[in-house]
Every structure is written in C-alpha cells, then in structure tokens.
Amino acid sequence: MCVVDTRHSLHTRIHKPAPNAPPLPRFQIAFEIIEGLKRMSKEDTLQRFLSKLNPHRILLGTEDQVFLKVEETATVPPDKHPLHPPNANEPHPTPHHQHLDAISSYDNDNLQRWVAPELGETDKTRDTAEGRIKEDLVKASVFSLGLVLLEMETGIVPFGEIDGINAQRQLGTGTRPNMTNVMTEMKELISECLDVDKTARPTLSTVEEKLIEIGQKTEQLTSGEAESIQDQLKKRTAAAPI
C-alpha cells in the first residue's frame, strides 16, 4: 500500500510550485484528465470516483503526466488503469495501486466545494437504473472538471474564502466564482460545465473538442500540437480499451 505524496498533486503544482518550475501545461493536463474520466466511466469499480474529482486527487508525474487518485478500498488492476500503464520508474504511486487517503490538509467538508451541487442533495426522483446513475456521475464529473479548469486558469481555489459546504451551496444557486481575468472562450466553456442543470452540461468529448478549439484560437496550442494530442489520446484508447 502506498501513501500519496501530496507534493505531486495538481493543487500543489498550482499553488506551491517548485522553484523554477515550468509553466503549467494546462491544456495537456486537461486532456489527460478528460481521457481518464472517460475510462473511469466505463469501468464499474471506478465509476463512483467520477464524483470525487478535485485538484488534490489529480496527481502529476515528473513530466506532468496525469494520474487520477482512487481510495484504498478500490483495487484497480493494471490493465484497467484510468490513464497510464504501471511504470516502475515513476516516483509516485499510480492509480493501479491501493492508496491511503492523505489529501494535504483538506478535510472532506472542504473537498465538497468541487462536488456537483446535485450530489449534495437527495434526488428522490432519480431513476435507479444503473445506466442513469452512471450518467449522473459523468455529468457530475463535468461540473468538477469545470472548477478544475477554472483553478488552473486563475490559480485561485473556487470560493476559497469560504468553507467547502457553503461554496457548494453557492454554486448550487448558480453563483459563479470570479472569472474576470479568464479569456472569453474559456469562461464560456467553464460556465457551461458549471450549469446547475446537469442535463445542460456538455459531454466530456465536447469539452475536449472545445478545449482544442480554444487552444488553437488563442495560439496556446499549434495545429501540430492539437493533432499530436488527438493522436495520443486515440492511440492510448486503442492500446488499453476499457
């Protein structure tokens, strides 16, 4: 069993970067997170972690490759990893290990700020069929992804001035965190992800497509980089289908 080293979390990379750390590759990290969420949605033992996405559970390798953290109660076989195959040279644990839950100094209440507001309530009208539950979790992951994208853009914890429970309540009323300095196209995409109506949120594939468009339009991604990212994601999916 491995203890997660929180120095390698996205939270730490954003808020306490190492001296002389290179700029955060926001688009590449976003693409890898999305691909991981897609794979998790297809694996029954991992679907429940879709609603737990936050910067503390996103771990980064030495070259900023992404690993999505699961809890010690979940066993993920190496061939079912959300993103990367086992790598003996990787300095921190990868998702196919079992993990102790050591998430910085944040407790569960503070982590609640990244959880979709509908999951903080009892939805008695929800169809209990397995497919519908999975759909709800994927939609919830899109909400959390929107907050992660925003935090990478601004370097600020969403509603960081208040506790996580009240932050989730604010988001549940449709109140948005400050996005004043976020580019228009990214602001629109994040706002769509944070829609209180879960049925109005974009799919993970749509978010991926829009991020590529935004990256190219703002020249943060060249055409070659965008094509390379798309090719990498396609090859990864083909090499390790779930």
- Confidence at residue 194, expressed as pLDDT on a 0 to 100 scale: 97
Distance in angstroms (rounded) separating the CA atoms of residues 60 and 235: 21
| Mean model confidence pLDDT for the chain | 76
Pairwise pLDDT comparison (60 vs 114), residue with the higher score: 114
Mean pLDDT of 153-172: 92
Q: What is the pLDDT of residues 61-87, one digit of tens each?
A: 877 678 777 654 443 443 444 444 444
- 160 pLDDT above the threshold of 80: yes
- Confidence at residue 158, expressed as pLDDT on a 0 to 100 scale: 93
Mean pLDDT of 141-163: 95
Mean pLDDT of 126-138: 66
Looking at the chain, the number of H-run helices and the number of E-run strands are: 8, 4
Token couple for 27: 């688009």
Q: What is the pLDDT of residues 169-201, one digit of tens each?
A: 999 999 999 998 999 999 999 999 999 999 999
Pairwise pLDDT comparison (89 vs 22), residue with the higher score: 22
Q: What is the pLDDT of residues 194-225, one digit of tens each?
A: 999 999 999 999 999 999 989 888 777 777 77
Distance in angstroms (rounded) separating the CA atoms of residues 115 and 104: 17
Token couple for 75: 């066993």
Phi-psi region of 87 (alpha: psi -120 to 50; beta: other; left: phi over 0): beta
Pairwise pLDDT comparison (239 vs 67), residue with the higher score: 67
Lowest-confidence segment of 51-55, 58-62, 81-85, 157-161 by average pLDDT: 81-85
Distance in angstroms (rounded) separating the CA atoms of residues 54 and 6: 13
Q: What is the pTM of this model?
A: 0.77
Domain range enclosing 97 = 2-239
Of the pLDDT bands very low, low, confident and very high (cuts 50, 70, 90), residue 20 is confident
CA of residue 195 relative to chain centroid, distance:
16
What sign does the CA torsion over 192, 193, 197, 198 have?
A: positive
Contact 163, 110 (CB under 8 A): yes
What sign does the CA torsion over 71, 74, 77, 80 have?
A: negative
How many domains is the chain partitioned into structurally?
1
Distance in angstroms (rounded) separating the CA atoms of residues 28 and 9: 15
Contact 13, 21 (CB under 8 A): yes
Helix, strand or coil, per DSSP, at residue 67 = strand
CA proximity to 51, closest of 136, 130, 127:
136
CA proximity to 39, closest of 117, 115, 95:
95
- Confidence at residue 116, expressed as pLDDT on a 0 to 100 scale: 93
Distance in angstroms (rounded) separating the CA atoms of residues 145 and 37: 10
CATH of residue 164's domain is 1.10.510.10
